[in-house]
């Protein structure tokens, strides 16, 4: 499982020119699942661990303090979370010019994992949590703040 996280001033997701999710200041997380992520992933320590890492990253300044300080997490800051399913986080670009996505989890497995992850994050944070639409052709708009961009990989963090 991989999370590509960006601190944002705002972010939104549209499908067919209709906005389906939007947040103000907070975190946009692109969420991808790989070949090792199967139906048993939600029972693993990595699944809950990634949810805790996402909501617990201290990448926000305290209210009224210098913007360069990273002392608050998204909940302490009062921000929102926007989760977007993103199979391309498992792109393999080693050969040729067209990426291979064979390392991404199959869509039926990834869809269930994404929905379970979004529910877990929502249940375990005080933040408002919004989600994109799995399998849709989404338009993601964001105003990156910083920029602050962090990649979390469950295999590196929880193996």
Residue 88 designated active-site: yes
By residue range, what is the domain housing residue 126? 2-158
Active-site position among 47, 60, 87, 114? 87
Q: What is the pTM of this model?
A: 0.95
> Residue 158 is inside which H or E element, if any?
helix 154-158
Residue 87 designated active-site: yes
CATH number for position 18: 3.50.80.10
pLDDT in tens, 68-112: 789 999 999 999 999 999 999 999 999 999 999 999 999 999 999
Active-site position among 71, 88, 101, 149? 88
Q: What percent of the chain has pLDDT over 90?
A: 93
Residue 47 C-beta-side C-alpha neighbours within 13 Å? 20
Domain count of the fold of the chain: 1
Residue 149 designated active-site: no
Active-site position among 4, 6, 47, 86? 86
Looking at residue 66, its pLDDT comes to: 67
Distances (CA, A) of 119 to 14, 20, 113, 129, 155: 20, 17, 10, 9, 22
């Amino acid at each position: 499982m991989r999370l590509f996280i960006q601190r944002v001033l705002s972010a939104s997701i549209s499908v067919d020119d209709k906005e389906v999710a939007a947040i103000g200041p907070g975190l946009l997380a692109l969420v991808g699942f790989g070949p090792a992520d199967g139906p048993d992933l939600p029972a693993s320590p990595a699944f809950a661990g990634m949810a805790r890492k996402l909501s617990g990253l201290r990448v926000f300044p305290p209210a009224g303090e210098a913007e360069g300080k990273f002392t608050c997490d998204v909940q302490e800051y009062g921000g929102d979370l926007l989760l977007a399913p993103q199979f391309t986080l498992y792109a393999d670009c080693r050969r040729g010019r067209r990426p291979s996505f064979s390392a991404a989890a199959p869509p039926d497995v990834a869809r269930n994992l994404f929905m379970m992850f979004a529910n877990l994050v929502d249940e375990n944070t005080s933040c408002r949590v919004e989600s994109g639409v799995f399998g849709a052709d989404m338009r993601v708009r964001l105003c990156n703040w910083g920029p602050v961009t962090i990649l979390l990989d469950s295999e590196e963090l929880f193996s």
